[in-house]
Structure 1
Amino acid sequence: MMLKLNRLFFALWPGEAQRRACDEAARELRLKMQPGGYLSSPERYHITLLFLGDTVSPESEQAALRAAARVKSAPFALNLELASSFRANKKIPWWLGPRETPPGLTQLHERINEAMLSARVLPERMKFVPHLTILRDAHLPLPVTPIRPIAWNVDEFVLLRSRLDQKPMSYEVLGRWKLDGDGEPPAPPPQKQLGLF
């Protein structure tokens, strides 16, 4: 039985100011380095938090939406300060990313992952390397290159569906959740001291 294609993933979804700044950085790097390939569309910019798979069932999709609504994490500042690339066979993607991953981003990734496992939605096992892809199919790798920092105050995360049936491919936002708490469990009540009488 053929499983229906339904590619879903949790992501950070930039605002318009961040999209414009990332697009400017991408165009400057392309002009300077002449890497070939093609620029990613700014409308598709995102940072993947957790990939759920290519054939997520309707039941798992609904379970993921319910579980995501229970994720509690604090907003955080994210600065995109570097550009570099991954080696992926002959196709080389270029990306923008932080110099260091903010603790708030690591926490958010972990809490979404925990929520999915609790809901029996099994994500793909991938190393979490936060990055925003700006160019695909480059003919040469990009060494780590500083860029003009792009400030991003992250206060939400989204669940996206890849619309591979559309040309060009686009993303559909299925759910959007605010980061409005630190998600730390409340401190236990103090224990009463039992005196000896």
Structure 2
Amino acid sequence: MSDESHEPFKRLFFALSCAPEQRRAIAQWRGALQLRSGRPVPAENFHLTLKFLGAVGVAQIADICTAAAKVRVPGVALRVVLDRVDVWRKHGVLVLASEQAPPELLRLVYALEQAMLPFGFEDSPKEFRPHLTLMRDYRLPVPESETPPEFILRAEHFTLFESHKGRYRALAEWPLMP
């Protein structure tokens, strides 16, 4: 069995990170739902995934970063309104979703997908749906909330994260405004 420190792959994804005060507010709101199903995503892991890459050879990371740096960014800070609670049964997750994805966000996701094509990552088979995962292994209906969600995720950069043992670590980030 090989020692994990020599593993040539990392699990990577591009995302918009969530400001600490926003993570606290979302975690507090989730707590008020008094959920009885699933595993809560740690608040420090809250993010909005742009493109999941999966297992990536360590040798490829520098080239991926170079390609990401050339992505045509929106030129403005992004505002994504998370105003809907949803259950994605197939994945067993409870998510905060966006009723209306901003066009700048969709353009950024498309540009990232195009930039990653040469690396052979599978193109996303489904339409991009902006969301923030609240719970995993969630098997109940959409919970009722006294306070409807209305969180505005503001992002001035996008980030390449590594997922390792349930923790997310930023590897690189790029500004959304020139």
TM-score, normalised to structure 1, is 0.77
Coordinate RMSD, CA, aligned: 2.2
Residue 39 of structure 1 is matched in structure 2 by 40
Residue 187 of structure 1 is matched in structure 2 by none
Provide the aligned length of Structure 1 versus Structure 2.
Answer: 168
Write the distance in 2 (CA, Å) between the matches of 1:143 and 1:102: 26
1:124 has 2:126 as partner: no
**Structure 1 or 2: larger strand share?**
2
1:88, CA displacement in angstroms?
2.6
In structure 2, the CA distance between the partners of 1:124 and 1:28, relative to structure 1 (3 Å rule), is farther
Letter in 1 for 2:88: F
Residue 14 of structure 1 is matched in structure 2 by 18
1:20, CA displacement in angstroms?
1.4
Instruction: Tell me the SS of whatever aligns to 1:99.
Output: coil
Instruction: Tell me the SS of whatever aligns to 1:147.
Output: coil
- The counterpart of 1:172, out of the listed 150, 169, 173, is 169
Task: Say whether the 8 Å CA contact 1:51–1:124 is kept in structure 2.
Answer: no
Instruction: Give structure 1 stretches of 5+ with no counterpart.
Output: 182-197
Structure 1 residues 109-168: Cα deviation after superposition (integer angstroms, max 9, x where no partner): 011112222xx222233322211111111231327978231122221100011113xxxx
Moved over 6 A (4+): 143-146
Residue 114 of structure 2 is matched in structure 1 by 114
Residue 81 of structure 2 is matched in structure 1 by 79
| Identical columns (%) | 32
Residue 159 of structure 1 is matched in structure 2 by 160
Write the distance in 2 (CA, Å) between the matches of 1:85 and 1:129: 13
Letter in 2 for 1:71: V
Task: Say whether the 8 Å CA contact 1:83–1:144 is kept in structure 2.
Answer: no
Letter in 1 for 2:59: E
Instruction: Give structure 2 stretches of 5+ with no counterpart.
Output: none
1:4, CA displacement in angstroms?
4.1
Residue 142 of structure 1 is matched in structure 2 by 142
In structure 2, the CA distance between the partners of 1:144 and 1:53, relative to structure 1 (3 Å rule), is farther
Instruction: Tell me the SS of whatever aligns to 2:150.
Output: strand
Task: Say whether the 8 Å CA contact 2:8–2:58 is kept in structure 1.
Answer: no
Write the distance in 2 (CA, Å) between the matches of 1:114 and 1:131: 21
Instruction: Tell me the SS of whatever aligns to 1:64.
Output: helix
